[in-house]
A and B are shown apart, each in its own frame.
Chain A
Amino acid sequence: MAGKLLLEHINVPGIRTFDVYRAKGGYRAVDKAFKTMAPDEIMEEVKKSGLRGRGGAGFPTGMKWSFLDRSKPEKPRYLVCNADESEPGTFKDRYLMEFIPHVLIEGLILSSFALGSNNTFIYIRGEYKWIIDILETAVGEAKAKGYLGKNILGTGFDCQIHVQTGAGAYICGEETALLESLEGKRGNPRIKPPFPAFFGLYGCPTVVNNVETLAAVVPIINMGGDEYAKIGVGKSTGTKLISACGHINKPGVYEIDLGLPVDEFLNSDEYCGGVRTGHRFKAIIPGGSSVPIIPGDLFLKTLEGNDRLMTYESLSEGGFVSGSMLGSGGFIVMDETTCIVRNLWSLSRFYHHESCGQCSPCREGTGWLEKILHRLEHGHGHMHDIDLLVEIAKKIEGNTICPLGDAAAWPVASAIRHFREEFEYHAKFPNKVSGRFAHVDDYKRELNAIAL
């Protein structure tokens, strides 16, 4: 256990203010980097650390930074912080920005220095209205102390941080849609290539990173990339914020070392404290609503019988057949009182509502999925609807412009794969299910690994 890195001082009163944060060793990394390191060295440290994007995809951050087009010095380069955290079940960035905003500001200063971005944007979702004020206060404080603005710490490097609010669209968390929205346009994802590293914000090379990723640069600089890489297992290095919610005894945001056994995370009193007392563990969505749902026993052990760890690799072991993904760390636990059909309907309704409407499979498909699931849940479903759902999901997956289509399709495919009986029950006994939770006891099933 290396202890907490980002949330180390979270319980210190007043850590939200610059002075307390500074007294607790804040801005040490900026001092160190600006005095002793060149921008390339920071990037080298980040590469060495093996830090992977914390927003969901898990792409190596150092590699993403190295893709940034530096061949045209006349064009400005931008760093954009993606704080449009809208994934159902994920609230880690909110926690970080709300209680310890300076760690993000510090990470942004370091990253902007490394990438040569003089204007850095935080694109934050409109629903986080009060956090916008917190961030702007933090930016103001940092500016007053000379950590932002012109000629930071006498290095000649200028950097401004602008906080920009979104208007409440999930799709604006997709990086190219975010850039469109930031430019003041309709938040439609762009067609890639070109990638933002070459043609991003206002047509200039841009890096878009998640809040937690950028904050993680601070401990990387403080302790050195090699040290940071020692935390974790294999390619999953460092610590990760997990926002645990659902039917557990202690919901909340936890900072864990990647590589922690899932059993320990779920059941130990230090973290989630186990599934709601008196209930059985039924299913889990381990990485935010977009990742496949898996039954509890498949979550604790893989099909081969190995214990799962909280890492990118281990959670996706078994692929889409018996695995899931670490995603953005939205850990949603469900006990046996949850109706999977209703849960899935709720998710599909979300994706239907949030589809941007640009490409046809997603625009039409998400609506179709939602309507069928609504029928099933409300007792108007048929047996053939179940196969139809799978088929529609298959037609959406991979055929869309952005990953929202995949995100809408994966939960459907996995829920039906693992909990088909529940769907069949809904189709067979329509009058027992219409709009009630009570039916769940009727088909309590043994949570065995599915037969392959």
Chain B
Amino acid sequence: MKITIDGVEAEVEPGTTILNAARGIGGELVPPAMCYYSKLKGSGGKCRTCLVKVTKGSEKDPRPMPKLVASCQTPCQDGMEIQSVSSPEVVEARKGVVEFLLINHPLDCPICDQAGECHLQDLSYEHGKARSRYEEERRTFDMIDIGDKIKLHMNRCILCYRCVMLAEQLTETREHGVLYRGDRSEISTFIEKAIDNEFSGNVIDVCPVGALTDRTFRFKSRVWFVKPLYAHRDCPTCVGKTTIWLHGQEVYRVTARKDKYGEVEEFICNTCRYDKKSPSDWTIEGPAQISRHSVMSATQYKEGIKVEAPKTIGYGNISPR
């Protein structure tokens, strides 16, 4: 099937969504996605940041679609013509969505552990406005510890439902979901119970913002002061392929490997994530692939640098203060 996005033609398989087709092309025209997660069934359609305009429905039925559509949910049709960043309407709608996402977000990036790897930060930088027109009080919630490893900071949540779907699909027991409705809805466990299963830590990785953070890493370091390295180990539960974040010779945290859209490649178990905090637990493969636009690349390793002696390189061992 042939489709055209912003004038770029592409050949796609039947059933591909517009978002995935755009990701296949790459570049500026890829719509941002805050809730869609290719590894999670049924995700997407909620955040509305990936809106695009369909100017021609298909070869058979060339009528344009009446409204902007969520590209993560709309399958491509043969001959479809789509406008992403080239349509002022789409740009305007995305701006609106970003503004909506931010009105109840505390914007506490200076003290948020996610800062630097936060999708909402990137999104508002790319598509948002410099100032908010929101004058009212923001909604607030108390922080909850869901288990001894995960902190839920509901104020920052944008209700993408990714963690809910992960809890439903990756683990056998469903332990957390959404309570209440409207802008009072919150992610929570059943009466603040702990989440307790082998893969629960992945909710931290799928969270696009700093709502779910790793309590073993909280306030230890800014992400751009730690060095991400690909590493692996023989793990009986999961694939064991991870990114470890080194500070000096210390492993500050372990996360799953993420692709360029911030999606986890393969989910990892809690043992790898929380318990293997020594470099000797891991076979280090080399520096992690980080986009050169990311703030984290400021301290990235260059090719060919020996990873055994991180002390001598970069700013990694300089204290943040």
Contact = CB atoms under 8 A, between A and B. Distances in A.
A364 B136 CA distance: 12
Contact of A191 (B73, B93, B136): B73
Interface string A350-366: 00111111111101111
A161 B103 CA distance: 46
Interface string B138-165: 0100000000000000000011010000
B47 interface: yes
A352 B136 CA distance: 15
B45 to A, nearest CB: 4
A352 B159 CA distance: 16
A388 interface: yes
Contact of A368 (B47, B51, B134, B178): B134
B46 A358 contact: yes
Given A361-B48, A399-B51, A356 B181 contact: yes
Contacts of A359: 45-48
A361 B97 contact: yes
A366 B96 CA distance: 13
Contacts of A171: 181
B68 A398 contact: yes
A355 B182 contact: yes
B86 interface: no
A357 B47 contact: no
For B93, B97, B136, B181, which residue has the most chain A Cβ atoms within 10 angstroms? B181
Contacts of A394: 96
B177 interface: yes
A228 B97 CA distance: 46
Contacts, number: 90
A367 interface: yes
A363 B35 CA distance: 15
A367 B51 CA distance: 22
Contacts of A364: 100-101, 103-104, 183
A432 interface: no
A368 B158 CA distance: 15
A355 B68 CA distance: 20
Contact of B46 (A360, A372, A388): A360
A150 interface: no
A130 to B, nearest CB: 26
Nearest to B45: A191
Contacts of A363: 100, 159, 182-183, 185
Contacts of B49: 360
B139 to A, nearest CB: 8
Nearest to B164: A186
B5 interface: no
B96 A399 contact: yes
Contacts of B68: 398-399
A4 interface: no
A301 interface: no
A358 B35 CA distance: 11
Contacts of B104: 364, 367
B97 A360 contact: yes
A400 interface: yes
B133 A388 contact: yes
Contacts of B96: 361, 394-395, 399
A246 to B, nearest CB: 27
Chain A binding surface SS class: helix
Contacts of B185: 356-357, 363
B183 A399 contact: no
A128 B169 CA distance: 37
Given A360-B158, A399-B96, A371 B133 contact: no
A5 B196 CA distance: 60
Interface string A365-389: 1111001100100000000000010
A23 to B, nearest CB: 46
Chain B binding surface SS class: loop
A111 to B, nearest CB: 29
Nearest to A353: B182
A401 interface: yes
Contact of B182 (A191, A356, A371, A395): A356
Nearest to B182: A355
Chain B's interface size range is: 20 to 34
Interface string B163-194: 00000000000000110111111000000000
Contact of A355 (B47, B103, B183): B183
B103 A366 contact: no
A353 B183 CA distance: 9
B189 to A, nearest CB: 15
A169 interface: yes
Contacts of A353: 182
B99 interface: yes
Interface in B215-236: none
Nearest to B104: A364
B181 A169 contact: yes
B133 A360 contact: no
A365 B97 CA distance: 9
A354 B185 CA distance: 11
Given A186-B178, A360-B101, A367 B46 contact: no
Given A191-B73, A358-B46, A360-B47, A365 B100 contact: yes
Given A359-B48, A361-B48, A363-B159, A368 B136 contact: yes
A395 B93 contact: yes
A395 B93 CA distance: 6
Contacts of A365: 100
Given A361-B100, A399-B97, A401-B46, A367 B182 contact: yes
Contacts of A358: 46, 159, 161
A355 B99 contact: no
A366 B182 CA distance: 8
A289 B183 CA distance: 21
A367 B161 CA distance: 20
Contacts of B93: 395, 399
A188 to B, nearest CB: 8
A95 B104 CA distance: 41
B60 interface: no
Interface in A306-360: 352-360
B70 interface: yes
Contacts of A395: 93, 96-97, 99-100
> Nearest 6 A-B pairs (CB), nearest first?
A395-B96, A357-B185, A364-B100, A191-B45, A355-B182, A367-B183
25 contacts: A191-B44, A352-B183, A353-B182, A354-B181, A356-B182, A357-B182, A357-B183, A357-B184, A357-B185, A358-B161, A359-B48, A360-B47, A360-B97, A360-B158, A360-B159, A361-B97, A363-B100, A363-B185, A364-B100, A364-B101, A367-B139, A399-B51, A399-B68, A399-B96, A399-B97
Interface of B: 44-49, 51, 67-68, 70, 73, 93, 96-97, 99-101, 103-104, 133-134, 136, 139, 158-159, 161, 177-178, 180-185
